[in-house]
Amino acid sequence: MTGQDLTKSADLTLHDRGTGALRSRRPEYVDFLPPCNDACPAGENIQAWLALAQDGNYEAAWRELVINNPLPSIHGRVCYHPCEDVCNRAFTDSAVSIHAVERFLGDLALAEGWQFEKPTEDTGKKILIVGAGPSGLSAAYQLVRMGHQVEIREAGPVAGGMIHFGIPAYRMPRDELQAEIDRIENMGVRITLDHRVDDVLAEKEEGGFDAVFAAVGAHISKKIDIPTREAGKILDAVSFLSSSNKGERPKLGRRVAIYGGGNTAMDAARTAKRLGVDEAMIIYRRDRSSMPAHDFEADEAIEEGVKIKWLRTIKEIDRSTFKVEVMELDENGRPQPTGDFETLEADSLILAVGQDTDTAFLESVPGIEFQQDHTVVVDKNMMTGHEGIFAGGDMVPSDRSVTIAVGHGKHAARHIDAYLKGTEYRRKARHPIIGHEKLHIWYRTAAPQVEQNRIPIVDRQQGFDEILQNITESDALFEAGRCLSCGNCFECDGCYGACPEGAIIKLGPGKRYRYNFDLCTGCAVCFEQCPCHAIEMIDEPGLDTVQNA
Architecture of domain 126-219+357-421: 3-Layer(bba) Sandwich (3.50)
Q: What is the CATH number of domain 3-31+489-548?
A: 3.30.70.20
Nearest to 115 by CA among 188, 187, 190, 60: 187
14 pLDDT higher than 70: no
pLDDT, residue 545, reads 44
pLDDT of residue 227: 81
**Confidence grade of residue 7 (pLDDT, cut at 50, 70, 90):** very low
Tell me, what's the pLDDT at 248? 86
Residue 13, pLDDT above cutoff 80: no
Per the CB < 8 A criterion, the answer to whether 333 and 290 are in contact is: yes
Residue 246 has pLDDT above 70, yes or no: yes
Indicate the pLDDT class of residue 547, thresholds 50, 70 and 90: very low
Q: Which fold has domain 37-114+442-476?
A: Fumarate Reductase Iron-sulfur Protein; Chain B, domain 2 (1.10.1060)
Asked if residue 3 has pLDDT above 60, the reply is no
pLDDT at residue 300, rounded to an integer = 93
pLDDT at 543: 57
- Of 393, 397, 395, give the one whose Cα is nearest residue 411: 393
Among 140-144, 191-195, 408-412, 544-548, the least confident range: 544-548
Q: What is the mean pLDDT of residues 273-282?
A: 95
Reported pTM: 0.91
Q: What is the pLDDT of residues 185-235, one digit of tens each?
A: 999 999 999 999 999 999 999 999 999 999 999 888 888 888 876 667 889
Q: What is the pLDDT of residues 141-172, one digit of tens each?
A: 999 999 999 999 999 999 999 999 999 999 99
pLDDT over threshold 50, residue 40: yes
Quote the crossing angle between the two packed helices 174-186 and 134-145, to the nearest 10°. 30
DSSP E strand stretches across 330-482: 335-345, 348-351, 355-356, 389-391
> What does the pLDDT look like over 329-388, one tens digit per residue?
999 889 999 999 999 999 999 999 988 888 989 999 999 999 988 899 999 999 999 999
CA atoms in the 13 A half-sphere facing the CB of 21: 3
**What is the rounded average pLDDT of the residues 444-458?**
89
Helices (H), 167-220: 174-186, 200-206
Mean pLDDT score of the chain, rounded to an integer?
91
| Least confident segment among 457-461, 534-538, 545-549 | 545-549
Mean pLDDT computed over 124-153 = 98
Residue type, 444: R
Domain residue spans in the chain? 3-31+489-548, 37-114+442-476, 126-219+357-421, 225-354
With a cut of 70, say whether residue 317 has pLDDT above it: yes
pLDDT at residue 19 is higher than 90 = no
CATH architecture under which domain 225-354 falls: 3-Layer(bba) Sandwich (3.50)
| Digit-coded pLDDT (tens) for 52-92 | 999 999 999 999 999 999 999 999 999 999 999 999 999 99
Do the domains spanning 3-31+489-548 and 225-354 agree at the CATH topology level? no
Q: 85 — phi, psi (to 5°)?
A: -65, -25
